[in-house]
């Protein structure tokens, strides 16, 4: 069982106030005064104050982790409230760090909260990590996950990992001496666009709660040096089936970062590593586009335009512009429903899926097909403000 040797509980003491606050911890032999002092002396950095970061920070703060760091550059969005429970309706538009800090100070004013209003990058990660004992990864994209992993291995800090998608989650503890790192499991990232983000794939609101608290549990166990850590195990959570499975993870001796002969000893350009050049492009280059105003003009003028909606049926029910619905995944099978002699405008929610549809149709020989730039969201913004956005 790996313990964190940098935590020096002997230098910490508990006031009477703290003893009362943490009494439910203190009366358990697994924690006791010794364990609570370890928690107080511990320094944990949470990357991300969103879905996973919310429960992570809330529970670690409540538990009395002495120094809690949070890194996030983002602002609270209305769509975050469905799952990022550290933020409230009144916080929409505020910096996530300010919102999180308010709630954490209210729950436990006795902890030392350090906020970092910055985007984690190869330029700042190593310096940031050095002041903490454990890193909890609550980020939402592949480049940052590889960055966090590599920085953890290089600085020798455990990486308590959690990730989610729709209703499935993963959790583990990477980058310990004896255990694997993230690259041992996934040496290469998927090509951009192959694995959707939460905004594109959706996510069950409770899921980051489930996985985030599992992460918080693992952080606390590492600090206390108690229980069986998820080092060397990948916990798979299927919330719909409510099944928890475990896979064995091994340290890869050939791992370029944590193996016996590491070839990566410095942080790299992670966007390049993940195949993302410059701005993360959601629209494929070279796809012919049409703006929502132009489509409206053509439809109002009675021009012959075939509107193809490539979203899913449940999205069509939220709102639609009367397009012919063929979900993107079904397009190859149902392409014969389309007439290549007609002008076709393909749309989805934001323009990303429809760009793929246009690409596919052009490769199938369709010459008169355009992508509706910005999708139905742009239509709701600029053409029909009464249309709901989602």
Partner 1 sequence: MPKIQIPTPLRQYAGKQPAVEVKAATVGEALSGLVTRHPELRRHLYTDEGKLRAFVNVYLNDEDVRYLQKEATAVKETDSISIVPSIAGGTA
The nearest distance, CB 143 to partner 1, in angstroms, is 9
The nearest distance, CB 75 to partner 1, in angstroms, is 11
Q: Which of 99, 115, 139, 172 touches partner 1 by CB under 8 A?
A: 139
Question: Which of these segments, 21-29, 34-42, 44-52, 105-113, binds partner 1 (CB under 8 A)?
Answer: 44-52
Q: Which of 22, 59, 129, 142 touches partner 1 by CB under 8 A?
A: 142
Can residue 179 be called a binding residue for partner 1 (CB under 8 A)?
A: no
- Cβ neighbours of 343 (radius 10 Å): 15
Cβ atoms 114, 68 nearer than 8 A: yes
Angle at 240 between CA 237 and CA 246, to 5 degrees: 20
Q: Which DSSP letter does residue 387 get?
A: S
Question: Which of these segments, 8-16, 164-172, 221-229, 300-308, binds partner 1 (CB under 8 A)?
Answer: 164-172
Residue 269 to residues 123, 147, 182, 221, Cα–Cα distance (Å): 10, 9, 17, 33
Question: Which of these segments, 33-41, 100-108, 186-194, 343-351, binds partner 1 (CB under 8 A)?
Answer: 186-194
Contacts (CB under 8 A) with partner 1, residues 260-319: none
Q: Which is nearer to partner 1, 131 or 246 (CB)?
A: 246
Distance, CA of 136 to CA of 120 (rounded, Å): 13
At 119, list the tokens.
């985007």
The nearest distance, CB 84 to partner 1, in angstroms, is 8
Distance, CA of 99 to CA of 303 (rounded, Å): 50
The nearest distance, CB 124 to partner 1, in angstroms, is 18
Angle at which helix 207-224 crosses helix 53-63, to 10 degrees, equals: 40
Question: Which of these segments, 196-204, 284-292, 318-326, 377-385, binds partner 1 (CB under 8 A)?
Answer: 196-204
Asked if 198 is an active-site residue, the reply is yes
Cβ atoms 97, 72 nearer than 8 A: yes
User: How would you label 11-33 residue by residue, b for 16+ Cβ within 10 Å and e otherwise?
Assistant: ebebeeebeebbeebbeeeebee
Residues 6+ apart with CB under 8 A from 72: 47, 48, 49, 50, 53, 95, 96, 97, 100, 116, 117
Asked if 258 is an active-site residue, the reply is no
Q: Which is nearer to partner 1, 50 or 351 (CB)?
A: 50
Q: Which of 28, 247, 268, 281 touches partner 1 by CB under 8 A?
A: 247
Can residue 145 be called a binding residue for partner 1 (CB under 8 A)?
A: yes
Contacts (CB under 8 A) with partner 1, residues 314-333: 329, 332
Can residue 337 be called a binding residue for partner 1 (CB under 8 A)?
A: no
Alpha helices in 76-175 (DSSP H): 96-107, 125-130, 142-155
Integer-rounded Cα Rg, in Å, for the chain is: 24
Query: Which of the following is catalytic: 152, 181, 198, 258?
Result: 198
Q: Which of 62, 92, 213, 234 touches partner 1 by CB under 8 A?
A: 234
Query: Could you list the residues that contact partner 1 (CB under 8 A)?
Result: 48-53, 72, 74, 80, 84, 137-142, 145, 162-168, 170, 185-190, 194-199, 201, 203, 208, 234, 236, 241, 245-250, 329, 332
């Amino acid at each position: 069982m790996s313990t964190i040797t940098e935590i020096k509980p002997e230098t910490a003491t508990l006031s009477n106030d703290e003893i009362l606050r943490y009494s439910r911890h203190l009366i358990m032999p697994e924690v006791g005064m010794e364990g609570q002092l370890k928690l107080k002396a511990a320094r944990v950095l949470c990357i991300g104050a969103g879905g996973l970061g919310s429960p992570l920070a809330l529970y670690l703060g409540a538990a009395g982790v002495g120094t809690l760091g949070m890194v996030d550059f983002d602002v609270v969005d209305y769509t975050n409230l469905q799952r990022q429970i550290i933020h409230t309706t009144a916080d929409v538009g505020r910096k996530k760090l300010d919102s999180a800090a308010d709630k954490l100070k209210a729950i436990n004013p006795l902890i030392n909260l350090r906020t970092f209003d910055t985007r984690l990058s190869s330029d700042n990660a190593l310096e940031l990590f050095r002041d903490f004992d454990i890193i909890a990864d609550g980020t939402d994209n592949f480049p940052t996950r590889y960055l966090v992993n590599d920085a953890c291995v290089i600085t020798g800090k455990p990486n308590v990992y959690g990730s989610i998608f729709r209703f499935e989650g993963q959790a583990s503890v990477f980058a310990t001496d004896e255990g694997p790192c993230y690259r041992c499991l996934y040496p290469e990232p998927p090509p951009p666009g192959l694995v959707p983000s939460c905004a594109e794939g959706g996510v069950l609101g409770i899921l980051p709660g489930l996985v985030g608290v599992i992460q918080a549990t693992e952080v606390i166990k590492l600090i206390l040096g108690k229980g069986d850590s998820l080092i060397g195990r990948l916990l798979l959570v299927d919330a719909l089936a409510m099944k928890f499975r475990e896979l064995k993870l091994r340290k890869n001796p050939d791992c370029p970062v944590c193996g016996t002969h590491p070839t990566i000893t410095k942080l790299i350009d992670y966007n390049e590593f993940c195949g993302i050049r410059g701005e993360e492009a959601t629209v494929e280059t070279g796809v012919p586009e049409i703006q929502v105003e132009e489509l409206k003009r053509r439809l109002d003028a009675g021009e012959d335009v075939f509107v193809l909606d490539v979203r899913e049926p449940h999205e069509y029910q939220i709102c639609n512009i009367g397009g012919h619905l063929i979900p993107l995944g079904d397009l190859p099978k149902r392409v014969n429903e389309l007439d290549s002699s007609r002008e076709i405008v393909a749309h989805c929610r934001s323009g990303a899926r429809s760009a793929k549809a246009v690409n596919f149709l052009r490769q199938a020989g369709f010459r008169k097909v355009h992508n509706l730039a910005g999708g139905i969201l742009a239509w709701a913004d600029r053409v029909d403000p009464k249309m709901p956005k989602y």
